């Protein structure tokens, strides 16, 4: 599903984001990327969603080599990826319903399908009663649920979450992680970059640890504190 | 392009304008102010050149004929004059008519008292009107070749001055409008750039949910068209009645002008200015929007 092969990213200022990183993620896996700030996990996530281009090496997502991809094709790559950010990135001028509908309008889904799918996905994330609310009327957890609903409404094969719980209190963070696990159980490959030590420990998923741009550890059922 | 997408573009274009009211108003006001100033300059320049043209039209060539020509010869000369290129009208003036107008002009009957009927020292003449004073020397050459002409009189120095004024006015006019247009484009582009900058997160989010560049652009283009149309309509709606009023006032306070020339009717100016402004406004709006979002699309 995701193949990262010998990828190096050097920023224009000379800083190295990741160095010679290789990683394979199978369909249906749930993977944590962990590591301190500057370890390269954000760089890796950005490379996966093609916000950045690798300096060297190649990345294959869903059998598409994204390394030498035309700019005009990027939107179609991103339609395979549900993306969730730490800062939610909701459109402040749109309601919860509209924010989710937006993701479907973008890929030009017919209106009938939009009307059918959104109530389903909103109830999946537990926001069926908040459809008409605007982001500033929601709690952080609710905003992240909205972002999650938006990320999965088009049924992407892969969900990428960059610090999805970074702005949330521990209880809410736990709820969001459970939701991610739920989504994973429905067959979506889930990649999560996080700092949330307790959650990583509790969930016992595959954990990839990065340090100074290298992968220093990759365990099947691991925790945050196993060694590092 | 699906019909639902087209509906979406228009809805987003309109709501985008409403939801970003402050920046929209700033953009529209900027476009309106620029087009207002440009249209004002057009009114002034248009009128100056129209007045100039009217003065030019009064300058003709007076052709005096030899004495003792019979009416047949006079007719031949008239036809020959008419045949010269760029001559628009040839008016015959008999010695009697010339004497009458002279008397009227001088308002001193006693000096001319002795002259009338058989005793008229004035000769047969023609007033030759031209397409434009720039053809004066060509026409003069043509007249030289005609026999039976005693004397030709034309206003040479006035002609030179008018020709120069004409040239200066058209250069200055084009320069002023061009400079104002360039300044407007820069100001308007900046305003729209700021308005798009405040919405870069929105564009960024669109990119991450897989929107194509054109999907993102369309609502902005529609917004740009609306800004341009509104920005151009306002100054047009204001400046036409304003112009009519100003012309009225000028006639009222400077009645002398009426004797020299008539000012352009509002319709003459605005029938051209309105479509040009609307197109200019729309192009500005669209170009401003598209070029401003360009940078934010590279995510």
- Answer yes or no: do B205 and A106 touch at CB < 8 A: no
Which residues of chain A neighbour B204 with C-beta distances below 8 Å? 89
Residues B139 and B98 in one domain: yes
Beta-carbon count within 10 A of B119 CB = 7
Q: Is B5 in CB contact (< 8 Å) with chain A?
A: yes
Q: Tell me what pLDDT residue B117 has.
A: 66
Mean pLDDT of B71-92: 87
The DSSP annotation for chain B comes to: --HHHHHHHHHHHHHHHHHTHHHHHHHHHHHHHHHHHHHHHHHHHHHHHHHHHHHHHH--EEEEEPTT--HHHHHHHHHHHHHSTTEEEEEEE-HHHHHHHHHHHH--HHHHTT-BTTB-----EEEEEES-GGGHHHHHHHHHT-TTEEEEEE-HHHHHHHHHHHHHHHHHHHHHHHHHHHHHHHHHHHHHHHHHHTTHHHHHHHHHTT--HHHHHHHHHHHHHHHHHHHHHHHHHHHHHHHHHHHHHHHHH-THHHHH-PPPPHHHHHHHHHHHHHHHHHHHHHHHHHHHHHHHH--
Which residues of chain A neighbour B5 with C-beta distances below 8 Å? 105, 108
Chain B nearest CA to A69, separation (Å)? 14
Q: Tell me what pLDDT residue B57 has.
A: 77
Residues B290 and B176 in one domain: yes
Residue-level pLDDT, tens digit, chain A, 228 residues: 899 999 999 999 988 899 999 999 999 999 999 998 889 998 999 999 998 999 999 999 988 899 888 888 999 999 999 999 999 999 888 999 999 999 998 888 888 999 999 999 999 999 999 999 999 999 999 999 999 999 999 999 999 999 999 889 988 999 999 999 999 999 999 999 998 888 898 899 999 999 999 999 999 887 776 554
Residues B203 and B72 in one domain: no
> How many structural domains is chain B composed of?
2
Residues B25 and B102 in one domain: no
Residues B30 and B165 in one domain: yes
Q: Tell me what pLDDT residue B108 has.
A: 62
Q: Tell me what pLDDT residue A99 has.
A: 94
In this complex, which of A78, A110, A154 lies closest to B208 when CB atoms are compared?
A78
Phi, psi of A174 (to 5 degrees): -60, -45
Q: Tell me what pLDDT residue A228 has.
A: 45
Return the ∠ at Cα B280 (arms to B279 and B285), rounded to 5°: 95
Residues of A with CB under 8 A from a CB of B: 49, 51, 72, 75-79, 81, 83, 89-91, 93, 102-103, 105-108, 110-111, 150, 154
Domain end call among B120, B154, B188: B154
Which of A208-217, B97-106, B143-152 comes out lowest in average pLDDT?
B97-106
Q: Helix B156-197 crosses helix B213-253 at what angle (to 10 degrees)?
A: 140
Using an 8 Å Cβ cutoff, are A34 and A80 in contact? no
Residues B188 and B135 in one domain: no
Mean pLDDT of B99-118: 71
Q: Helix B3-19 crosses helix B21-58 at what angle (to 10 degrees)?
A: 90
Residues B146 and B168 in one domain: no
- Answer yes or no: do A105 and B213 touch at CB < 8 A: no
Domain end call among B103, B131, B154: B154
pLDDT in tens, B265-287: 889 899 999 999 999 888 888 88
Tell me the β-bridge partners of A205: A222
Q: How confident is the model at residue B93 (pLDDT cuts 50, 70, 90)?
A: confident
Which residues of chain B neighbour A51 with C-beta distances below 8 Å? 299
The residues in B 234-293 lying below 8 A from A, measured between CB atoms, are none
In this complex, which of A79, A90, A111 lies closest to B210 when CB atoms are compared?
A79
Give the sheet arrangement for strand B61-65, strand by strand: B87-93, B125-130, B61-65, B149-154
Residues B213 and B280 in one domain: yes
Residues B142 and B276 in one domain: no
Residue A156 parent element (H or E) = none
Q: Tell me what pLDDT residue A138 has.
A: 95
Domain of residue B103, CATH code = 3.30.70.3040
Residues B164 and B137 in one domain: no
Which residues of chain B neighbour A49 with C-beta distances below 8 Å? 208
What range does the domain containing B177 cover? 3-56+160-296
Which residues of chain A neighbour B212 with C-beta distances below 8 Å? 72, 75
The percent of residues above 70 in pLDDT, for chain B, comes to 96
pLDDT at B105 over 80: no
Q: Tell me what pLDDT residue B147 has.
A: 82
Domain end call among B102, B128, B154: B154
Residues B52 and B77 in one domain: no
pLDDT in tens, B62-72: 888 888 788 88
Which residues of chain A neighbour B18 with C-beta distances below 8 Å? none
- Closest residue on chain B to A46 (Cα): B299
In this complex, which of B201, B211, B213 lies closest to A89 when CB atoms are compared?
B201
Half-sphere exposure of residue B131: CA atoms within 13 angstroms, side-chain side: 10
pTM of the model: 0.72
Q: Tell me what pLDDT residue B299 has.
A: 67
- Answer yes or no: do B205 and A89 touch at CB < 8 A: yes
Q: Is B215 in CB contact (< 8 Å) with chain A?
A: yes
CA distance A71 to A65: 13
Which residues of chain B neighbour A106 with C-beta distances below 8 Å? 206, 209-211, 215
Instruction: Please state, rounded to an integer, the average pLDDT across all residues of chain B.
Output: 84
Q: Tell me what pLDDT residue A225 has.
A: 65
pLDDT at B45 over 70: yes
Residues B96 and B144 in one domain: yes
């Amino acid at each position: 599903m995701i193949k990262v092969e010998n990828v190096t990213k050097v920023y224009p200022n000379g800083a190295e984001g990741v160095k010679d990183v290789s990683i394979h993620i199978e369909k249906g896996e749930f993977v944590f990327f962990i590591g301190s700030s500057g370890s390269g996990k954000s760089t890796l996530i950005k490379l996966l969603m093609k916000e950045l281009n690798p300096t060297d090496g190649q990345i294959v997502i869903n059998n598409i080599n994204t390394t030498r991809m035309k700019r005009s094709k990027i939107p179609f790559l991103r339609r395979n990826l549900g993306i969730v950010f730490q800062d939610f990135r909701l459109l402040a001028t749109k309601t919860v319903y509209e924010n989710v509908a937006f993701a479907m309008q973008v890929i030009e889904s017919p209106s009938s399908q939009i009307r059918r799918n959104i109530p389903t996905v909103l109830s999946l994330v537990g926001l069926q009663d908040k459809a008409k609310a605007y982001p500033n009327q929601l709690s952080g957890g609710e905003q992240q649920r909205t972002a999650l609903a938006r990320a999965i409404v088009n049924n992407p094969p892969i969900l990428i979450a960059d610090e999805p719980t970074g702005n949330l209190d521990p209880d809410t963070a736990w709820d969001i992680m459970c939701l991610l696990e739920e989504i994973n159980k429905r067959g979506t490959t889930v990649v999560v970059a996080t700092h949330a030590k307790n959650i990583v420990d509790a969930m016992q998923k595959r954990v990839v640890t990065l340090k100074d741009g290298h992968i220093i550890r990759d365990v099947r059922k691991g925790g945050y504190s196993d060694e590092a | 392009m699906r019909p639902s997408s087209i509906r979406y573009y228009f809805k987003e274009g309109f709501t985008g304008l409403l939801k970003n009211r402050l920046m929209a108003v700033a953009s529209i006001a900027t476009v309106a102010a620029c087009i207002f100033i440009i249209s004002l300059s057009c009114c002034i320049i248009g009128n100056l050149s129209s007045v100039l043209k009217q003065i030019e039209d009064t300058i003709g060539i007076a052709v005096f004929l030899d004495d003792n020509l019979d009416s047949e010869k006079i007719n031949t000369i008239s036809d020959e004059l008419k045949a010269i290129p760029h001559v628009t009208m040839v008016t015959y003036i008999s010695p009697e008519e010339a004497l009458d107008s002279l008397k009227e002009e001088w308002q001193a009957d006693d000096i001319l008292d002795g002259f009338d009927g058989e005793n008229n020292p004035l000769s047969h003449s023609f007033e030759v009107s031209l397409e434009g004073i720039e053809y004066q020397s060509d026409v003069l050459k043509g007249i030289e070749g005609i026999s039976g002409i005693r004397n030709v009189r034309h206003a040479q120095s006035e002609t030179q001055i008018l020709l120069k004024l004409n040239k200066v006015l058209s250069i200055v006019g084009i320069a002023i409008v061009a400079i104002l247009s360039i300044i407007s484009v820069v100001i308007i582009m900046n305003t729209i750039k700021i308005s798009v900058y405040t919405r870069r997160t929105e564009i960024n989010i669109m990119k991450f949910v897989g929107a194509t560049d054109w999907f993102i652009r369309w609502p902005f283009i529609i917004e740009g068209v609306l800004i341009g149309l509104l920005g151009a309509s306002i100054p047009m709606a204001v400046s036409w009645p304003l112009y009519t009023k100003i012309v009225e006032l000028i006639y009222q306070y400077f009645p002398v002008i009426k004797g020299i020339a008539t000012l352009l009717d509002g319709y003459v100016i605005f029938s051209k200015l309105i479509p040009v402004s609307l197109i200019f406004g729309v192009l500005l709006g669209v170009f401003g929007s598209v070029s401003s979002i360009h940078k934010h699309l590279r995510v």
